[in-house]
Structure 1
Amino acid sequence: MNNRIKELYGYVTLTFKNLLINYQKERWNFLTNSTIENRKRLLNSVEEIQNFMDTDKDYKEIFYLLKKYQKNFSQQQKDTLLKIKKICDILQKTPQQEKHFDIFLSTAMDIINDRINFNNKDTTTSHLADLAEHETSLQEIISIQKHFFQPTQKFKDRIEKVVLEREEYIKSKNFKSYFEFFTKINGLKEKDIFKDIEKLDDLTREDFKKLKNQLEQELAKKLKLHAKSYPSYIFGDPFFRTYPVHLDNNVNTMFKGKDIAYTGKKFFDILGYDLSDVYEVSDLYIRPGKYPFIIDIDGNDIRFSVNTKSNFRGTYWLLRTLSKVVYILEKSKNKTFFERENIDRRKMETFGIIVTNFAFKSGLISRILSQYEDEEDQLSVDISDYLEKNNLILSRFFLSLSNFEIEINGSEKVSNFSDIWVKNVQKYQLIEIKDIFNKDGWALLDSIIMDPFSSIFEVEGFLLSKKLEKKIDFKNLKQKTFLKTIFEIVEKI
C-alpha cells in the first residue's frame, strides 16, 4: 500500500507541477502579448489541467486512497494534495466557468490592446493620465480627460457583465458571493476588512480634507479657475490618485530623461539584492499589448511586467513592483514547488510600501538619478513632503475603490455600478457628485477584473505600513541588511 501511495504521489505531483508551470507561462505570454493565439494557448493550458482531473486514473486513485487511508499519508503529502485539490476545484470545467473565462479573456484582451487617438497619435489611458498630471492649462486638462474617458462607454457594459458572470461562476462553487470567495481563499474575515477600511478612513480623513482644501485653492489660482465649486479634473489625474507634480518643481524635473529601470535595479543593488536574473526574464518597457503584473512561475522564476516611465508615478510603481518581487523570492527561499506558501498580500503590500517610502525618503533614489548629471550638479533632492502628500491621496483613492469593489461583488445584485462608484468617491475622496467629471469612470479601473480586490490589499498595506514605520529606527538600519530586517518585521504581523 505505502509503495503504491509513494508511486502515485510522485507521478501526480510531478505531472500537476508541470501542468501548472505551463499554465503560468501561458498566462505570462497572454498578459505580455495579448493576441488571439496566446489566448487560445492559455485556454488550452487550462483544458490540459481539466483533462488531467477528469481522465487520469492515477489522479483519481490517489484521492480515493487519501480519503480511505489517511493514516498512510504523511502530513506533507496531505498538505500538497490538498493544495492540488483546491486549485483543481477552482479550475473544474462547468458551463459557468467556461462562460466566465470566455467573456473575461475577450474583455481583458480588448482592454490591454485598446488605444485612444489623441493629437493624431494612438495612445493609452495611462499615458493620458501622465499628461493630465503634468498639465498646467485648464483647457488642455479638460481636453486630455475627455479623451481619457472615451473608452468608458465601450467597456462599461462589458465589465459589468464580467463581474456578474464571475458572480454566477463563484455561486456555482457554493459561495454566497465573490467577496465571500475572496475572503475565504485569502484567509480573511469580512468584519476585519470593514474594520480596517474604517481605521484608515479615520486615520487619514482630517489630514486629507485639509490637504484637499489647500490643493483646491492653489490649483484654482494657478489654473485661473473662477468657480464656486471645484470640478474633479483640476487635480490632473482623472481619478485623483496623485498630488499634481507641476506643483513641485523638484518632482516635476528630477526623473526626466532618466533610465528608471536601471534606477530601480541599482537601488536594490545598493541594498545587497541582485535582481539581474529577474530583470533578464521580465518585460520592462512601454509597448502595446501588455499588462503590468507580477507572476511566480515556479518559486525560482519570478517575472514582472511594467511600463517603465521617466516620472514619479513610473518610479514609484516600479519600486513597489520590485519590492514585491523581493518579498516573493524571500518567501520561496529554500522551499520546494509545493512547499511554497500562499503569499499574504497584506504583508507583501506593506513590505512594498515601506521599502518604496525608504527609497525616496533616504535620498537613495535621488542620488542614483543624479549620477546622470555632471559631478558638480550631483545633489540629493528631498521629495519626502511630496511623497507623504501623494501617499495620503493614493490611500484615499484605494478606500473609494475597495468599498466600491466590495459592494459590486456582494451577495445583493447591483443595478447601477456608477451610482455606487460616485457615492464612494464622495465619501472617501470628498468630491461632490456634481463635480465628478465622468461618473462612469470606474469602467477604466481594469484591476476590477484583472486583479480583483487588490484595492483591499492596498488599504491594508497603507494602514499597516503607517503603524510599523513609527516603530522602525530607519537611521540605524544598515543598507546591506535593510531588506532582511524589514522582511522579518513585516512577517511578524
Structure 2
Amino acid sequence: MPSVDAFLAPRLKQVENLSKAAAEAYWQATTTGEEKYEKQYVRYRQDLIRLFSSKDDYTHLKELLADQKLQRDLLLYRQLVLLEHEYIPNQPDAILLSDIVHKESEIESEFTRFRASFDDRIVSDNEIQDILQNATDSTLRRKAWEASKQIGNQVAERVIELVKLRNRAAQEAGFKNYYAMSLKLQELDGRNLFSILAALEEKTTEPFRRVKQKLDEELARKFGISTDEIMPWHYADPFFQEAPPLESAQLDPYFKGKNIVEITKRFFADIGLEVDDILERSDLFERPNKNQHAYCIDIDHSGDIRVLANIRDNEWWMSTMLHELGHGVYDKYIDRTLPYLLRTPAHTLTTEAIAMFMGRLTKNPEWLTLYADVPEQETKALKPALEEYLSMSMLIFVRWGLVMVHFEHEMYHDPDQDLNALWWSLVERFQLVKKPEGRNEPDWAAKIHIGTAPVYYQNYILGELMASQLHFMILDELRGDSYLKKKSTGSYLIRRIFHSGAQVPWYELLKNAGGEGLNPDYFVKQFVR
C-alpha cells in the first residue's frame, strides 16, 4: 500500500491543475457565451469526475481515514476528509455522471444566453428589473414578470430529468436521494438544519405578516389598487426575494452617476482589505452573450480572484458589488501556505456570511454618509426608515429562502409530483404571495439555482444568520458601535475567519471565533421587530 504522501501528492496536483483549468473555462464561458469554452468546461469537469471515480483510490482513502495515527495530524486528516467528499459522489456509474455534467452545462448555457421577449423585443434582466422597480402600470409590470419566467418553460423538463439523474447517482453512492447526500457532504446535519429553519419560520411569521401588510398597503397606494389586488408582479423583483424601495427610503438616487467600482475599492481599503487586484481581473459591465448574474470565482486558490458583474449605478448593484467582493476578500486573505485543498473558505455558508455582512451596508446610514456622500443630517433623518427597510429586506429574504429550501427538499424526495403546484403552495405559505388565477407554469425552473446550484440555498439562510452573529461579535471585539473606516475590522476578519481557510469544519471555526455555534437569536435580535 502506498504511503499517504505517495497517494496524496500526485492526486492533489491533478486536482489543482484540473480545477484551475475548469474555473478558467467557466469564466470564459460566462463572460463570452462562446460554446467552445462551455465544451472545455465540461471536459475538465469530466476529467475531475474520472479522477474521483477511481474505486481503488476510494478504498485506499477510506483506509487512510481509519488510521488513528493519521487522525492526529489535523491538517493531513482534514485534507483526507475533504478529498473523501469529492470521491463519494463520483463513485456511481461514469456514464451517468457524465450525463449529469452535460445537462448541467446545457442548462447553465441556456441561462447565460437567455434574454426575455417583451413587447416584441429582446430585453435584459436589468431592463426587467427596471420595470419591476419603477413602472406603475400594472399591465406593463405583469408582462415584465411573465417575461422573466419564460426561461422556466425552456429548461423545466431538463431540470426534472437532471433531478432524477442526481437522485440515481446519490442512491448508487448509498444515500436516500441527492438532497440527503448533499447535506452530508456539506457537513450539515439535516435534523439540526430543519430545526433551525422551523425556529426561524416561527419567529418570523408574525413579524413578516405585519411587514408585508404594511408593504402591500404602500404598493396599493402606489399602483391605485386595493391590497386584495396585489399580485406577484407588484413586487420589486420576479421572485419577491428582495424588498422594493420604500417611499420613505429611496436609495437609488444616492448612487445615480456614482462610480460603483471606486466606492467599492475605497470602502474595503478603509477596513484594511485591498480589492484593487481583484477588480483589475474582473469583468464588471453588461454586454451581449455575457452571463447576466453576478459571482466571484477563485481561479487557482493562489490569488487569481475575479468578479463577474453587470453594474448599473443603483443601490442593488452597489450592494451586489459589496457582496461579491466580500467573497473575494475571504478568498484573498486565506493563508497561502496551507495545502491546496485547505485554501478555501471553511464552508459555503461562511463565505456567504461575509458577503451578506458586506452587502447589507448600503442600508446603513453611516455607510451612506461615508461612501455615497449623503449629508449626515439627511441620513440621521433617514435612519428610522433605513432600519425599517433593512429589517423588511432581511425578513423578505429569509421567507423567500424558506421557499427554496423546502421546495428542493420536496422535489428531490419526489420529482414526479406536481412541482408547479408545490412551488405556489410554498410561495403562498412562506411569502404570503397570491398565485395568479389559473397559472400553471414551471415558475420554479426560472430560478437558476435549482438547475445549476442544487441544494445550495440553505447556505444563504445560514449565511444571513452568521452575518448577524458576526455583526455583534465584531462590535464586541472593537468595543464600539461601528466597524466602518476601521482597519481593525479587516484584521479581525482575517485573524478569526479568513486566515484559517478550511482547516476546521465551519461549526468549529464559528465556535473558535465567537465562543458559540450558529445561533439564530442574533438575527432575530438584529432584524425582527
1:416 aligned partner, one-letter code: D
Q: Tell me the equivalent position of 1:260.
A: 260
- Is 1:483 equivalent to 2:490 in the alignment? yes
Deviations 1:281-305 (A, max 9, x none): 2222223332532222232222222
1:110 aligned partner, one-letter code: E
Q: Tell me if structure 1 keeps the 8 A contact 2:319–2:362.
A: no
Q: Tell me the equivalent position of 1:25.
A: 24
* Alpha-carbon distance between aligned partners in 1 of 2:431 and 2:54, rounded to the nearest angstrom: 52
**1:295-314 alignment, distance < 5 Å:** 295-299=297-301, 300-314=303-317
Q: Tell me the equivalent position of 1:397.
A: 400
- Extract unaligned runs of 5+ from structure 1: none
TM-score, normalization by structure 2:
0.81
Closer/same/farther in 2, CA of residues 55 and 239 from structure 1, 3 Å limit: closer
TM-score, normalization by structure 1:
0.86
Q: Tell me the equivalent position of 1:170.
A: 170
* Alpha-carbon distance between aligned partners in 2 of 1:105 and 1:249, rounded to the nearest angstrom: 40
Q: Tell me if structure 2 keeps the 8 A contact 1:80–1:338.
A: yes
* Alpha-carbon distance between aligned partners in 2 of 1:196 and 1:439, rounded to the nearest angstrom: 31
Q: Tell me if structure 2 keeps the 8 A contact 1:295–1:302.
A: yes
* Alpha-carbon distance between aligned partners in 2 of 1:476 and 1:448, rounded to the nearest angstrom: 37
* Cα root mean square deviation, aligned: 3.5
- Is 1:269 equivalent to 2:269 in the alignment? yes
Closer/same/farther in 2, CA of residues 384 and 121 from structure 1, 3 Å limit: farther
Q: Tell me the equivalent position of 2:340.
A: 337
Secondary structure of the equivalent of 1:338? helix
Q: Could you tell me which of 407, 416, 419 is aligned with 1:417?
A: 419
Mean CA deviation greater in 319-328 or 381-390: 381-390
Q: Tell me if structure 2 keeps the 8 A contact 1:294–1:302.
A: yes
Secondary structure of the equivalent of 1:141? helix
What is the CA-CA distance between 1:405 and the residue it aligns to?
1.5
Closer/same/farther in 2, CA of residues 468 and 439 from structure 1, 3 Å limit: farther
What is the CA-CA distance between 1:226 and the residue it aligns to?
4.2
Q: Tell me if structure 2 keeps the 8 A contact 1:231–1:437.
A: no
* Alpha-carbon distance between aligned partners in 2 of 1:234 and 1:66, rounded to the nearest angstrom: 57
Secondary structure of the equivalent of 1:282? coil
Q: Tell me the equivalent position of 1:199.
A: 199
* Alpha-carbon distance between aligned partners in 1 of 2:183 and 2:218, rounded to the nearest angstrom: 42
Q: Tell me if structure 2 keeps the 8 A contact 1:282–1:303.
A: yes
* Alpha-carbon distance between aligned partners in 1 of 2:260 and 2:177, rounded to the nearest angstrom: 41
Q: Tell me if structure 2 keeps the 8 A contact 1:196–1:463.
A: no
* Alpha-carbon distance between aligned partners in 2 of 1:72 and 1:377, rounded to the nearest angstrom: 58
Q: Tell me if structure 1 keeps the 8 A contact 2:319–2:361.
A: no
What is the CA-CA distance between 1:97 and the residue it aligns to?
0.7
Closer/same/farther in 2, CA of residues 43 and 88 from structure 1, 3 Å limit: farther
Closer/same/farther in 2, CA of residues 64 and 486 from structure 1, 3 Å limit: closer
Q: Tell me if structure 1 keeps the 8 A contact 2:12–2:340.
A: no
Q: Tell me the equivalent position of 1:34.
A: 33
- Extract unaligned runs of 5+ from structure 2: 498-509, 518-529
- Is 1:321 equivalent to 2:328 in the alignment? no
Q: Tell me if structure 2 keeps the 8 A contact 1:367–1:379.
A: no
Name the count of aligned residue pairs: 486
1:459 aligned partner, one-letter code: I
Mean CA deviation greater in 283-292 or 86-95: 86-95
* Alpha-carbon distance between aligned partners in 1 of 2:217 and 2:49, rounded to the nearest angstrom: 58
Mean CA deviation greater in 115-124 or 401-410: 115-124
State, as a whole percentage, how many aligned pairs show the same letter.
Answer: 20
Q: Tell me the equivalent position of 1:348.
A: 351
Q: Tell me if structure 1 keeps the 8 A contact 2:335–2:343.
A: yes
Q: Tell me if structure 1 keeps the 8 A contact 2:45–2:101.
A: no
What is the CA-CA distance between 1:136 and the residue it aligns to?
2.1
Closer/same/farther in 2, CA of residues 358 and 257 from structure 1, 3 Å limit: closer
What is the CA-CA distance between 1:445 and the residue it aligns to?
0.6
Closer/same/farther in 2, CA of residues 438 and 131 from structure 1, 3 Å limit: farther
**1:205-284 alignment, distance < 5 Å:** 205-226=205-226, 228-245=228-245, 247-248=247-248, 250-284=250-284
What is the CA-CA distance between 1:274 and the residue it aligns to?
0.7
* Alpha-carbon distance between aligned partners in 1 of 2:471 and 2:30, rounded to the nearest angstrom: 34
* Alpha-carbon distance between aligned partners in 2 of 1:407 and 1:214, rounded to the nearest angstrom: 31
Closer/same/farther in 2, CA of residues 261 and 122 from structure 1, 3 Å limit: farther
* Alpha-carbon distance between aligned partners in 2 of 1:54 and 1:155, rounded to the nearest angstrom: 28
1:39 aligned partner, one-letter code: E
* Alpha-carbon distance between aligned partners in 1 of 2:439 and 2:449, rounded to the nearest angstrom: 21
Secondary structure of the equivalent of 2:310? strand
Q: Tell me the equivalent position of 2:389.
A: 386
Q: Tell me if structure 2 keeps the 8 A contact 1:327–1:351.
A: yes
Closer/same/farther in 2, CA of residues 171 and 64 from structure 1, 3 Å limit: closer
Q: Tell me if structure 2 keeps the 8 A contact 1:9–1:62.
A: no
1:445 aligned partner, one-letter code: K
What is the CA-CA distance between 1:309 and the residue it aligns to?
2.6
